[in-house]
């Protein structure tokens, strides 16, 4: 049983042991709170809602497509209405339940208005599981500049698309609160 195979195996572990002191980069642990990996641009974790200038008028027109397509159905949208009861093209309630969301990114893919995008923030833990994990509109809304910061390539592409779309519909001013 004291065979060559056993000694070979022991040589491997001893080599790793020595290299962990001598060779840089052989330890693959990342000391998380102090050290952080650089996330690739594609990394997705949890959706945010993007607005252009005014947080009151996000890109979202509360069309409900993302809520319907969301595989675990974690999005709740209620359309905003003006005092007369006519529907406005913006959400009154936009809730996403963090504890249900499975970070698939389908909401981003299906959104026809480029309003919802996946954020990279993954430190979302909270002390209670109901209210602080149900993110409301206020918490989800982020300016376009933030989106540019986290995903520059995608944001540039989306902006170009939006601009092209606007130029097509040329004269009409950008619609936000049209009734």
Partner 1 sequence: MEKAASALETQMLQVNIGPQHPSTHGVFRMNVTLDGETVVRLKPVMGYLHRNHEKIAEGASYLASMPFTDRLDYICSMTNNLGYAIAVEKLAGIEVPERAEYIRVIMAELTRLVNHTLLVGFLLNDLGAFFTPTLYAFREREKILDLFEAASGARMMCNYMRFGGVKNDFPTGFMEKLKEVIANYPRFLDEFERLLTENEILMGRCQNVGILPRKLAVNASVTGPMLRASGVDYDIRKVDGYSIYPRFKFRVPLGTVGDVYDRYYVRILEMRESVKILEQAVKEMPEGEVLSAKAKTGAKSPRTFRPPKGDAYGRIESPKGELGFYLVSDGTPNPYRYHVRPPSFVNLTILEDMCLGLKVADAIIILGSIDIVLGEVDR
Partner 2 sequence: METLDQLFVLLKEGILQIAEAFLPSGLLPFVSILVSITAIAIFAPAVMMYLTWLERKVIGRMQNRYGPNRVGKFGLLQPIADGIKMLTKEDIVPAKADRFGHFLAPVAVVVPSLLLFSVLPFGRNMIAADLEIGLLFFLAISSVGTLAIFIGGWGSRNKFSLLGAMRALAQMVSYEVPLVLSIVTVVMMVGSLSTMDIVEAQSGWNGFRWFIFTPWGFFGFLIFFIGSVAEVNRTPFDIPEGESEIVAGFHTEYSGMKFALFYMAEFLGAFAFAALGATLFFGGWQGPFLPSWLWFGLKTFVLVFVIIWLRGTFPRLRVDQLMGYAWKFLLPMALVNILAAGVWYYLSQPLASFASAALLVASYLLLSRLSPTGTRLEKRTYRYAE
**Per-residue contact track with partner 2, 13 to 52, x per CB under 8 A?**
xx-xx--xx----xxxx-x---------------------
Considering only 11, 78, 126, 160, the residue that binds partner 1 (CB under 8 A) is: 11
Assigned token pair, 121: 């923030």
H or E segment to which residue 80 belongs:
strand 75-81
Residue 55 site contact among partner 2, partner 1, none (CB < 5 to 8 Å, cut-off depends on kind): none
41 binds partner 1 (CB under 8 A): yes
Three-class SS of residue 100? Answer: coil
Closest CA to 91 of 117, 120, 66: 66
Considering only 53, 56, 71, 175, the residue that binds partner 1 (CB under 8 A) is: 71
In this structure, the strands spanning 87-97 and 75-81 are antiparallel
For residues 153 and 166, give the distance between their C-alpha atoms in angstroms, rounded to a whole number. Answer: 20
2 binds partner 2 (CB under 8 A): yes
CB of 120 to partner 1, least distance (A): 9
104 binds partner 1 (CB under 8 A): yes
DSSP state of 132: G
* 135 within 8 A of 101, measured Cβ to Cβ: no
84 binds partner 2 (CB under 8 A): no
* 113 within 8 A of 60, measured Cβ to Cβ: yes
Considering only 6, 42, 102, 160, the residue that binds partner 2 (CB under 8 A) is: 6
Interacting residues toward partner 2 by CB under 8 A: 1-3, 6, 9-10, 12-14, 16-17, 20-21, 26-29, 31
């Amino acid at each position: 049983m004291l065979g060559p195979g056993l000694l070979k195996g022991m040589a491997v572990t001893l080599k790793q042991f020595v290299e962990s002191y001598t060779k840089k980069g052989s330890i693959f642990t990342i000391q998380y709170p102090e050290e952080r990996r650089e996330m690739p641009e594609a990394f997705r974790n949890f959706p945010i809602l993007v607005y252009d200038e005014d947080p009151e008028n996000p890109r979202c027109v509360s069309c409900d497509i993302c809520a319907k397509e969301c595989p675990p159905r974690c999005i709740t949208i209620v359309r905003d209405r003006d005092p007369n009861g006519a529907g406005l093209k913006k959400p009154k309630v936009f809730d996403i339940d963090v504890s249900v969301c499975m970070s698939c990114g389908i909401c981003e893919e299906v959104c026809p208005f480029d309003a919802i995008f996946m954020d990279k923030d993954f430190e979302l833990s909270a002390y209670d599981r109901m209210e602080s994990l149900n993110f409301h509109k206020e918490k989800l809304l982020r300016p376009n500049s933030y989106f540019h910061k986290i995903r520059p390539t995608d944001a540039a592409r989306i902006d170009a698309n939006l601009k092209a779309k606007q130029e097509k519909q040329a004269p009409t001013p950008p619609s936000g609160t049209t009734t």
